[in-house]
Amino acid sequence: MRTVLKGMRAVFDGYILRKGVDVAVEFGKIVEINEDLKGDEYVILEDKVLYPAFVDAHTHLIYAGNRVFELEMRLSGASYLEILKRGGGILSTVEATVKASDDELIDATLRRIRVLQSKGVGVVEIKTGYGISYEQEVRLLRLIHEVAVKADVVVVPTLLFHVPPRDMDVEEYLKEFFERYDEYADLIKFVDVFADEGAYGPKETEMILSFYRGKGVPCRLHADEFSPFASHLAAKYGCVSADHLIHTTEEGVKALAEAGVMATLCPITGFFLREGFAPYGMMKEHGLRVALSSDHNPGTAPFLNPFLTVLLAVFGYGMLPNEAFSAHTAAAADSLLLKNLGRIEPGARALMFAMDYTPNELVYWGKVDAPVQPVRF
Ligand code: NIG
Ligand code: FE
């Protein structure tokens, strides 16, 4: 059965806006994008703009509780890292998450996914990181897989080394993950490390990256979020992506670009923490490929809205609206090694949405509440 989508004002194909084209779909796949296509049936999307579903390549969606109580502390001058050092921050979410039942965690995660989905997201990477013991981290991996079965989006699981445990030696902690790798190998697609002041230091980060690289697991890194710290490690170990980079340096950017590492930027985080915006202009100048994602988590990015990510990327980084949509679709899919998602081209999965606005119009009117019509087969 060949279905042809017709009548669209424009199609954003993951890279550029195309006018006057139809899209043909067969068996859940896009097979053609061209003028005046014929099919067995037609779906008329009169005056709409068609997009590939957003890809959210960096999230911490599985956790319990929230950190509303930190907001005034931070706005009154306490820094994110100070709160963490005092045992708050990530550690307070760990406490709530460890206490929560499996069902509570699954339900909370599904609720968050549904919000993202209602705004056009079709793919979510989900990191562990609020367990901080071998058992709890592997439990979170299993729960992410249960979420994947129940959710109506594509889910990509990542094991995140978030912060070292407080009650045991960090090398002992890592050793357990290394020795028991075979027990959870099938549950992970990526490994990530929060490498920064107050989190994992360079030595442990290198231990983690070299172990998992040796196992052939692709790695990503929370790098240079609070201090210039880890972009060179992402380059040295050939990570797929270095994320955040709010406080990166020109050397860091050059090293990443030369090593072919992508940057996944999360503008909500810098905005929410008042830490500022990553130097996108410098990245563009050095040819570093940039993806956009939400970083959804209860401490630094509680918002759930990809349009807000796009809007902040445009006004915070100086991206063009088309660049921002491309970074949140095709580039974000590439950063998850999903070459058949985040674009509307032959061979891609037919996971799309339609709305009333082009990228420029959406950004111009600040339509972060734009109604989205799912278009999927
Ligand atoms: O990406 N920086 C590390 N992880 C998250 C924050 C997690 C939290 O505060 O709970 C981030 O910003
Ligand atoms: Fe993060």
Taking only the tens place, the pLDDT of each residue in 288-318 is: 999 999 999 999 999 999 999 999 999 999 9
Q: How far apart are CA 89 and CA 190, in angstroms?
A: 24
Angle 120-124-128 from CA coordinates, rounded to 5°: 150
Taking a C-beta distance cutoff of 8 angstroms, is the pair 358, 325 a contact? no
Both structure tokens of 122: 């079709």
Beta-sheet pairing, 41-44 with 2-6: parallel
Query: What residue owns the CA closest to ligand 1's atom 9?
Result: 299
Q: What is the location of CATH 2.30.40.10 in the chain?
A: 2-52+343-376
Q: Which residues of 162-180 are buried (b: 16+ CB within 10 A; e: fewer)?
A: bbbeeeeebeebbeebeee
Residue 31 phi, psi (nearest 5):
-115, -20
Q: Which of 160, 162, 247 to mutate to test the pocket of ligand 1 (most atoms within 8 A of CB)?
A: 162
Q: How far apart are CA 100 and CA 64, in angstroms?
A: 6
Cα(194) to centroid(ligand 2), Å: 8
Q: What ligand 1 atom has the least distance to the C-alpha of 266?
A: 1
* Token pair 């390549």: residue: 57
Domain 2-52+343-376 has CATH 3.30.43.10: no
Sites in the chain below the pLDDT cut of 50: none
Query: What residue owns the CA closest to ligand 1's atom 8?
Result: 299
Ligand nearest to the CA of 194: 1
Q: How far apart are CA 45 and CA 345, in angstroms?
A: 18
Taking a C-beta distance cutoff of 8 angstroms, is the pair 124, 153 a contact? yes
Q: Which residues line ligand 1 (CB under 6 A)?
A: 60, 89-90, 93, 194, 222, 225, 269, 295, 297-300
List all residues 6 or more positions away from 82 whose beta carbon is below 8 Å from its beta carbon.
none
Burial of 41 (0-12, 13-18, 19+ CB in 10 A): exposed
Cα(295) to centroid(ligand 2), Å: 5
Q: What ligand 1 atom has the least distance to the C-alpha of 93?
A: 10
Number of H helices, E strands in the chain: 16, 17
pLDDT at site 109: 98
Q: What is the largest CA-CA distance in the chain?
A: 65
Sheet with 22-26, strands from edge to edge, namely 29-34, 22-26, 2-6, 41-44
Tell me, rounded to whole angstroms, the distance of Cα 363 from its chain centroid. Answer: 20
Q: What is the location of CATH 3.20.20.140 in the chain?
A: 54-304
pLDDT at site 229: 85
Cα(300) to centroid(ligand 2), Å: 8
Cα(326) to centroid(ligand 1), Å: 24
Cα(58) to centroid(ligand 2), Å: 6
Query: What residue owns the CA closest to ligand 1's atom 2?
Result: 194
Query: What residue owns the CA closest to ligand 1's atom 12?
Result: 300
Q: What is the pTM of this model?
A: 0.98
Q: Where are the beta strands (DSSP E) in 20-169?
A: 22-26, 29-34, 41-44, 49-52, 54-56, 121-127, 154-161
Q: Which residues, by Cβ under 5 Å, contact ligand 2, an ion?
A: 295
Q: What ligand 1 atom has the least distance to the C-alpha of 90?
A: 10
Cα(300) to centroid(ligand 1), Å: 6
The per-residue pLDDT for range 81-103, each reduced to its tens digit, is 899 888 889 999 999 999 999 99
Q: What ligand 1 atom has the least distance to the C-alpha of 243?
A: 1
Cα(132) to centroid(ligand 1), Å: 14
Cα(6) to centroid(ligand 2), Å: 39
Taking a C-beta distance cutoff of 8 angstroms, is the pair 304, 294 a contact? yes
CA gyration radius, the chain: 20
Under CATH, to which class is 54-304 assigned? alpha beta
Cα(303) to centroid(ligand 2), Å: 13
Query: How many beta carbons lie within 10 A of that of residue 36, not counting itself?
Result: 9
Q: Which of 90, 112, 130, 269 to mutate to test the pocket of ligand 1 (most atoms within 8 A of CB)?
A: 90
Among 110, 88, 71, 126, which Cα is nearest to 96's?
Answer: 88
pLDDT at site 86: 83
Among 6, 2, 17, which Cα is nearest to 321's?
Answer: 17
Both structure tokens of 89: 């921050």
Ligand nearest to the CA of 300: 1
Taking a C-beta distance cutoff of 8 angstroms, is the pair 180, 149 a contact? no
Query: What residue owns the CA closest to ligand 1's atom 3?
Result: 194
* Token pair 């562990």: residue: 128
